Amino acid sequence: MPEISGSTGRTPETHVIDYRAAEQLLSARDPRGAVKLLDSVIAAHPENTAARLLRARAFFAAAQLRPAELEFTIVLEREPDNAFAHFALARTYERQGRPDQARRHFRLAAALDPNPEFLKAARFDS
C-alpha cells in the first residue's frame, strides 16, 4: 500500500504528477492553475526548492508579484548561488518599480552565470 502523506490522501507519486502537470500548465500559460497544483505539493514538501521555484515562476506569470518575491527569496535562502532565481527576483523587483534591488540581483545572476540574457540585464557598462 502506498504511503499517504498528511490528511490530504495524497501519495508522493501524486505530488510528482501534480508537479509535472503544473509545469505543463505554466507552459500552456495557465499560471493560476499551476499555483493551485503546487500548493498541495509544497504543503506536503515545504523543503522542495524545485516546487517553490516553479510556484514562484507561476506567481510571476500571473502578475502576483509579492508572492513571487517571497518564493524567489525562499529559494535564494536555500540556494544563494541559483543564478536563475536571482534573475527572476530581479525581474520581479523591476516590475514592482524597485530598480536598485533589481540591479543588485541582475548583477548577482550575471556574476554566477555569464548567460547573455543575464549579462545584458546586469548592465555592467552603465
Instruction: Please write down the HEC assignment for all residues of the chain.
Output: CCCCEHHHCECHHHHHHHHHHHHHHHHCCCHHHHHHHHHHHHHHCCCCHHHHHHHHHHHHHCCCHHHHHHHHHHHHHHCCCCHHHHHHHHHHHHHCCCHHHHHHHHHHHHHHCCCHHHHHHHCCCC
For the segment 28-79, what is each residue's pLDDT rounded down to a tens digit? 999 999 999 999 999 999 999 999 999 999 999 999 999 999 999 999 999 9
Note the pLDDT of residue 6: 45
Q: Do 95 and 38 belong together in one domain?
A: no
Note the pLDDT of residue 72: 98
Note the pLDDT of residue 11: 81
Least confident of 11-20, 74-83, 90-99: 11-20
| pTM assigned to the model | 0.88
Does residue 101 fall inside a structural domain?
yes
Does residue 70 fall inside a structural domain?
no
Q: Do 14 and 54 belong together in one domain?
A: yes
Total number of domains constituting the chain: 2
- Domain with 84 in it: 80-126
